[in-house]
Amino acid sequence: MREFSTEHARQCLDAIGLDVRDIKVVQNEKRADLLATFQQETYIVEAKNRSAHTGWLELVQMARSKGAGTHSRDVQPWNALSSMIQVAYAQLIATPAPSNAFRILWVVAPHGDADFVLECLKIRFFGLARLVVIQDSETPPVARDCFHYGRSEFERTPHLDAVILGNIEAGQLLLNCLSKNKDQFKKSYLYKWLHRANAVVDPEEKEADGKAFLIPIDIEGGRNPQANWQYLKQTYGVKTSVMRKNAFYGPMSIEMEEPGTDSTPLI
């Protein structure tokens, strides 16, 4: 029986027209989960479930026991995310495939903490930061995302072409613009299909459209707050400050009664 993440990937890829098959397990060897094809294109897919953050689980338990609970936390990745990514990457690159095959990591979070978990993954993959942008004294400050502001997992995974992050209802493709196959992947059926559905995050495209900043991974002085600030000022003519992203939650336990049944506490 397939894991939920593998079945989720299989059904989604099959629904948009790809031929999807399981990759045979080889004892004592690393292998990805799925092989998907479309005409002459080949995709190697490793699928992972991403569980809820422990803070969320504690909050749900509190609400169940006390009737309600609130919790505030910074939207920042934790170290276990990097460990999961590196394990998946090792499986992807160890899987035999044609030299032009695309390698995809598929991560699904099928729970009530999905928004938080997937946002943390996006931050970790892209080295993403949200900045307050000051242009001049007459223009109100605005907020804008900056790719590669911090160290990113995509720097450590040059053979990973893209990541698909999803919950039960929707998903989003994160393009690795540091991938060796970037240009070829952007011509692929999967990229084009998801791009038409407005489900692609492409740092270079967002920067070209004026919707985000993009810092090169090899800027002079190395990436640190001071070097980043100087690069953004020289390149875009703006002054910036990093915003703190915070998420607030307030679950409540509600008694639901139906005729002929006992009341059941639900979150």
> Does residue 160 contact residue 105 with C-beta atoms inside 8 Å?
yes
Closest among 162, 170, 175, 163 to 201, alpha carbons compared: 175
pTM: predicted TM-score of the whole model, two decimal places: 0.86
The answer to whether residue 264 scores a pLDDT higher than 90 is no
Any domain includes 206: no
Any domain includes 162: yes
> Does residue 87 contact residue 146 with C-beta atoms inside 8 Å?
no
Q: What is the pLDDT of residues 19-58, one digit of tens each?
A: 999 999 888 899 999 999 999 999 999 999 987 766 756 6
**CATH number of the domain bearing residue 75:** 3.40.1350
Percent of the chain with pLDDT over 70: 85
The answer to whether residue 219 scores a pLDDT higher than 90 is no
Which residue carries 């090169």 as its tokens?
216
| pLDDT at residue number 266 | 40
**262 Cβ contact list (under 8 Å, min separation 6):** none
Any domain includes 245: no
Q: Quick check: helix, strand or coil at residue 196?
A: helix
Into how many domains does the chain fold? Answer: 1
Any domain includes 235: no
Any domain includes 74: yes
- Nearest 5°: the CA angle 64, 119, 34 is 100
The answer to whether residue 261 scores a pLDDT higher than 80 is no
Closest among 35, 11, 41 to 92, alpha carbons compared: 35
| d(C-alpha 255, C-alpha 267), whole Å | 9
DSSP secondary structure string, 54-87? HHHHHHHHHHHHHSB--EEEE----HHHHHHHHH
Q: How confident is the model at residue 216 (pLDDT cuts 50, 70, 90)?
A: very high
| pLDDT at residue number 265 | 47
| d(C-alpha 267, C-alpha 42), whole Å | 43
| pLDDT at residue number 254 | 66
Any domain includes 174: yes
| pLDDT at residue number 76 | 80
Any domain includes 140: no
Any domain includes 232: no
Q: How confident is the model at residue 11 (pLDDT cuts 50, 70, 90)?
A: very high
Which two structure tokens, joined as six digits, stand for 47?
């699928």
Q: Which residues span the domain enclosing 164?
A: 4-126+152-201
Which two structure tokens, joined as six digits, stand for 249?
């939650």
The answer to whether residue 110 scores a pLDDT higher than 90 is no
The answer to whether residue 72 scores a pLDDT higher than 50 is yes
| pLDDT at residue number 59 | 65
